[in-house]
Amino acid sequence: MRIVVNNLIAVKSLMIDALTSCNKIVMLIFLACSIYSCSTKPPDFKDYDFVMDKNVKKKAVIMVYEALLHGEVIRKGEKVEYLASVDAKSYSQIYFDEFGNKLFEANYSFGDGKTLFSTVKTVRSGNRNNLVRIVYKRSFDNYSKTIYIFNSIGKLIEIVEHSYSKDQRKYNSRELSSYKYDSSGNLIEIILYDGKWDGEKLIPVLKEIRQFSNYNSNGGYQNIETYNSIYQLIKEVAIEYYPNSRLYRAEYSKYYQNGRLTDETRNYFVFDSNENIVIQRSIENERDELIYRTFDSHNNLTHFNSNRVASFKYNSLGDWTEQIIYRSNRPTWIVERTFTYY
257: three-class secondary structure by DSSP: strand
Interstrand relation of 248-257 and 260-271 (parallel, antiparallel or unpaired): antiparallel
pTM of the model: 0.79
For the ranges 5-9, 166-170, 306-310, the maximum mean pLDDT occurs at: 306-310
Question: Do 21 and 102 sit in the same domain of this protein?
Answer: no
**Parallel, antiparallel or unpaired: strands 330-341 and 58-70:** antiparallel
Q: For residue 39, report the phi and psi dihedrals to the nearest 5 degrees.
A: -65, 145
Examine the domain organization and report whether 116 and 20 are in the same domain. no
- If asked whether residues 174 and 75 sit together in one domain, one would say yes
Confidence class for position 167, pLDDT limits 50, 70, 90: confident
Q: How confident is the model at residue 36 (pLDDT cuts 50, 70, 90)?
A: very low
7 and 100, same domain (yes or no): no
User: Both 21 and 111 in a single domain?
Assistant: no
Residue 3 pLDDT grade (very low, low, confident, very high; cuts 50, 70, 90)? very low
Residues belonging to the chain: 342
Same domain, 6 and 124: no
- Indicate if 176 and 48 belong to the same structural domain: yes
Name the percent of the chain in helix, strand, coil, to the closest 5.
10, 60, 30
Backbone angles phi, psi at 117, to 5 degrees: -125, -15
| CA–CA gap between residue 313 and residue 321 (Å, rounded) | 6
Residues 46 and 32 in one domain: no
pLDDT band at 165 (very low <50, low <70, confident <90, very high): confident
Q: With CA atoms as reference, report the closest residue to 210 among 200, 222, 198, 218.
A: 222
CB 238 within 8 A of CB 221: yes
* Calpha distance 55→51 (Å, rounded): 10
The answer on 89 and 16 residing in a single domain is no
Residues 159 and 11 in one domain: no
Residues 9 and 157 in one domain: no
Cα angle 13, 15, 18 (rounded to 5 degrees) comes to: 110
Secondary structure of 278-303 in HEC code, one letter for each residue? EEEEEEECCEEEEEEEEECCCCCEEE
Question: What mean pLDDT comes out for the span 5-30?
Answer: 43
Q: Is the same domain home to 29 and 60?
A: no
d(CA 171, CA 243): 51
Give pLDDT tens digits for 93-140.
Answer: 999 999 999 999 999 999 888 899 999 999 988 766 668 999 999 998
pLDDT, one tens digit per residue, over 257-282 is: 999 999 999 999 999 999 999 999 99
Burial class (CB in 10 A: 0-12, 13-18, 19+), 339: middle
Domain of 240 in residue numbering reads as: 42-341
> How many distinct structural domains can be found in the chain?
2
Taking residues 183-212, report their average pLDDT. Answer: 84
* Other beta carbons within 10 Å of 212: 17
β-bridge mates for residue 33, sequence order: none
Lowest mean pLDDT, pick from 33-37, 81-85, 112-116, 316-320: 33-37
Which pLDDT band holds residue 199 (cuts at 50, 70, 90)?
low
